[in-house]
Structure 1
Amino acid sequence: MVAYSSAVSKLEVAADVPEEARIGEHHVKGSDGKTVKFRNPHPSAGGPPESPFAVGGKIIWAKITGSMPSPDTSNVKIPVVEPEFLTARTGSTALRATWLGHACYFVEFPSGLRVLFDPVFEDRCTPVQWFGPKRYSPPACSLSDLPPVDAVVISHSHYDHLSHDSVQTLAKRNPEAQFFVGLGLEQWFRSSGILNVTEMDWWQDADLVLQKKSKPKAETGDGDDDDKDKTAPDTISARITCLPCQHSSGRTGRDHDATLWASWAVKSGDKSVWFGGDTGYRWVPKVAVDMDDYGPEYDALPRCPQFRQIGDLRGPFDLGLIPIGAYKPRWLFSWMHANPYDSVEIFKETRCKRAMGIHWGTWILTTEEVEEPPRMLREALKTSGIPQTGVFDVCAVGETREF
């Protein structure tokens, strides 16, 4: 049976990064000079960050006044198919990406590398499984159905992107898997019993090296199918890069913005992926329902410059995994969640050759109709003169696309 050992070398911030990153403008420091929390450094995030209680109060008031109704999921038709993963690490010359719902993607690189982004396999994206948003699209598979995982990349600490049970199960099934997280999250993982964790700041790189080893079939139940792969490479390497986005973090009322949110780039062999995770693009004030907030009256609203920086300094990317959902009401969520028009701008600025939409189709988090994001995405692509299919797409839960 073929298995791999793994090692990570974390590198210093490269020379070719924006000055704001070099001086740490996204760090908020206490009187002792140590970072105590993080912030979005650009006007595109709006005014001073609000506490979870303030945001929660606005949501409750919006629901009371009827301006934030819950979408109807009774006739949702988002297809779900059984995933078809490779049984051999070198079974394809293409990059294979499988959507597993919301922001979770399983990506198989031609080099043999397997990466899982933001895994949440529970029914509810909440601290408990008896309260909160419940899946309206069933999961395409369980964690036990996945091939061995080499790297798990976490965008931030919100419950729809980081599940305690999912990461613990992954670590038990994949004892050599390496977890990559933003600053401040390493201790949370270690307290959960996960030791293979590397925390990183924006624009910091890490090199991941997998080395083939021989071992007896362990009774760990890790589901390793590499004994079927006689052509598995001796060494697999990847460059993992932590990159900016515009968002927030927190799992309780006491840890607001205490850990860093991030987008990520993964390059292995000659293929590269940019994972947007969860991000806003610009803050939009309350406007009339029929008003185009990309029209001339609002065209001058500040846009987050970090995506153009990512494209200029780390692009192009073969594939972008870009959020397109959870954006209404716009005045409340625009600073932290992109709508499809924002997403297309992010796609262009990050210089992704192709993209798939994430952060939709799984849980009710905001008020837009469940199936609106793909429709709006096609409109946004048409407005930008980009083909409506084959460039920036969506797919069925469980479906694999090749790039």
Structure 2
Amino acid sequence: MSLITRRRLLATAAGLAATAGLSSLWISRMSYYQGPVTDHFDGTRFFDPDGAPPKNFWEVMRWRFSHKPAQWPEWAPSPFADTPPPRVDGAGVRLVYVGHASWLIQTAGLNVLIDPVWSERVSPVSFAGPKRHNDPGIAFDKLPDIDVVLVSHGHYDHLDLATLSRLAAAHKPRVITPLGNDLTMTAHDDAIRAEAYDWSDRVALNDRVAVTLVPTRHWTARGLFDRNRALWASFVLETPAGRIYVVCDSGYGDGRHFRRVRDAHAPLKLAILPIGAYEPRWFMQDQHMNPADAVKALADCGAERALANHHGTFQLTDEAIDAPEQALYAALDAEGVPRERFPVLKPGQVFEL
């Protein structure tokens, strides 16, 4: 066994021990969702009847010791930084890409954050785990008054408890999330105004904006022992300018999740689709789309156009920092789809409907 392999084994063992300890501590103070059995909840855990279960321990170990991650630059700053207006009234929609899967959407006098992450790392600990390679596209103190936060699921790069606590203290927003994630939030900070909903639930946000939680091909966990004890979802946001389909994290599968959204919610003005964290495919394909999948998802859901997310901020998998953007444009060209129909924004960049 080489010295590098031994070091990897020791580092992984230490990391697993630390995570197990944190998970045990977390479970000792956590309660989990309880409710009736449904077509996607067995009484203990949630599941996707049209999806795939998360990889098992041995598959995780196989990836951990065989993967060859590309070298990302230590810091990859965006040339953009936004200072949003206090409100956007009328029929328009203003979107700002904050980074990774985080967005600010302003419409109809409402300010909505999607999967907000302002922390330095996406990890159960502050001293290790995936670290930022660029600043959020909006400085936290430049945020307008936030009315609503949508949190798609419990993975650390989407449900950031430190950021949710900061938002609760500064803005006191409603936090809309799938079943069970509210318990994670309030166990951490009971000031977080979490509201939990099931797939297909429609929630009015004001008199002109509503959101529906829709199934997505994914899974969730916070530690080693709580897989799928909470639900995950994508969002269809109804706005005066049309419906926006927000997919923060998803595999592609056979595309049926996207076609079902088209059938139930068309016409879609815009889709926000993930393009990153996809290599190696044998390990990631059930939970993360690659750019070619994202182009197929755009066709399946029927949206007029799309914006890319879930790339370029935290190195979660093996591909290079710029690989998702390059592969997306190659996939668009191969399918004859104009590149301007599916642009890749940098953190701080603005898009308006």
State the TM-score, normalized to the length of structure 1.
0.74
Deviation of 1:179 (Å): 0.7
- Alignment-derived partner of residue 36 in structure 1: 44
Deviation of 1:93 (Å): 4.7
- Alignment-derived partner of residue 244 in structure 1: 215
Change (3 A) 1:54 1:80: farther
- Alignment-derived partner of residue 267 in structure 2: 316
SS of 2:333 mapped into structure 1: helix
Distance, in Å, in 1 between the alignment partners of 2:191 and 2:267 is 33
Change (3 A) 1:39 1:54: farther
Distance, in Å, in 2 between the alignment partners of 1:181 and 1:74 is 33
Matched positions, count: 316
Deviation of 1:78 (Å): 5.9
- Alignment-derived partner of residue 174 in structure 2: 178
SS of 2:260 mapped into structure 1: helix
The unaligned stretches of length 5 or more in structure 1 are 1-22, 30-34, 63-67, 210-235, 283-302
State whether structure 2 residue 92 is matched by structure 1 residue 94.
yes
Change (3 A) 1:76 1:127: closer
- Alignment-derived partner of residue 33 in structure 2: none
Question: Alignment identity in percent?
Answer: 29
Distance, in Å, in 1 between the alignment partners of 2:221 and 2:177 is 14
Deviation of 1:202 (Å): 1.1
Distance, in Å, in 2 between the alignment partners of 1:252 and 1:318 is 37
Amino acid in the other structure paired with 2:315: I
Deviation of 1:401 (Å): 0.9
Q: Is the 8 A contact 1:81 1:399 kept in 2?
A: yes
Structure 2 counterpart of 1:165, from 162, 177, 182: 162
Deviation of 1:195 (Å): 5.1
Distance, in Å, in 2 between the alignment partners of 1:128 and 1:347 is 36
Amino acid in the other structure paired with 2:71: D
- Alignment-derived partner of residue 55 in structure 2: 50
Q: Is the 8 A contact 1:273 1:319 kept in 2?
A: yes
Distance, in Å, in 2 between the alignment partners of 1:317 and 1:343 is 16
SS of 1:61 mapped into structure 2: helix
- Alignment-derived partner of residue 29 in structure 2: none
SS of 1:99 mapped into structure 2: strand
Alignment of 1:347-362 (within 5 A): 347-362=298-313
Distance, in Å, in 1 between the alignment partners of 2:348 and 2:200 is 31
- Alignment-derived partner of residue 104 in structure 2: 106
Query: Deviations for 1:297-335, whole angstroms, at most 9, x for unmatched residues?
Result: xxxxxx041110001111222221110000000000000
- Alignment-derived partner of residue 15 in structure 1: none
Structure 2 counterpart of 1:60, from 64, 85, 100: 64
Deviation of 1:50 (Å): 3.1
Distance, in Å, in 2 between the alignment partners of 1:162 and 1:75 is 24
SS of 2:45 mapped into structure 1: strand
Structure 2 counterpart of 1:25, from 27, 39, 42: 39
Q: Is the 8 A contact 1:80 1:140 kept in 2?
A: no
Query: Deviations for 1:249-302, whole angstroms, at most 9, x for unmatched residues?
Result: 0001121111111101111334321110100012xxxxxxxxxxxxxxxxxxxx
SS of 2:164 mapped into structure 1: helix
Distance, in Å, in 2 between the alignment partners of 1:273 and 1:201 is 19
- Alignment-derived partner of residue 128 in structure 1: 125
140-149 vs 119-128, which deviates more?
Answer: 140-149
Distance, in Å, in 1 between the alignment partners of 2:160 and 2:87 is 28
State whether structure 2 residue 349 is matched by structure 1 residue 399.
yes
Distance, in Å, in 2 between the alignment partners of 1:78 and 1:272 is 31
Change (3 A) 1:54 1:142: farther
Distance, in Å, in 2 between the alignment partners of 1:270 and 1:95 is 7
Structure 2 counterpart of 1:275, from 246, 256, 259: 246
> Comparing both structures, which one devotes a greater share of its residues to helix?
2
- Alignment-derived partner of residue 196 in structure 2: 199
Alignment of 1:217-256 (within 5 A): 236-256=207-227
Deviation of 1:172 (Å): 1.3
Change (3 A) 1:270 1:356: closer
SS of 1:265 mapped into structure 2: strand
Amino acid in the other structure paired with 1:364: Q
Query: Deviations for 1:91-147, whole angstroms, at most 9, x for unmatched residues?
Result: x753111001100010111x1121100001111100111111111122233322110
Q: Is the 8 A contact 1:107 1:114 kept in 2?
A: yes
Change (3 A) 1:78 1:321: farther
- Alignment-derived partner of residue 19 in structure 2: none
Query: Deviations for 1:344-380, whole angstroms, at most 9, x for unmatched residues?
Result: 1111212221111000000111111110111111111
State whether structure 2 residue 186 is matched by structure 1 residue 190.
yes
Deviation of 1:180 (Å): 0.7
Change (3 A) 1:185 1:85: same
State the TM-score, normalized to the length of structure 2.
0.85
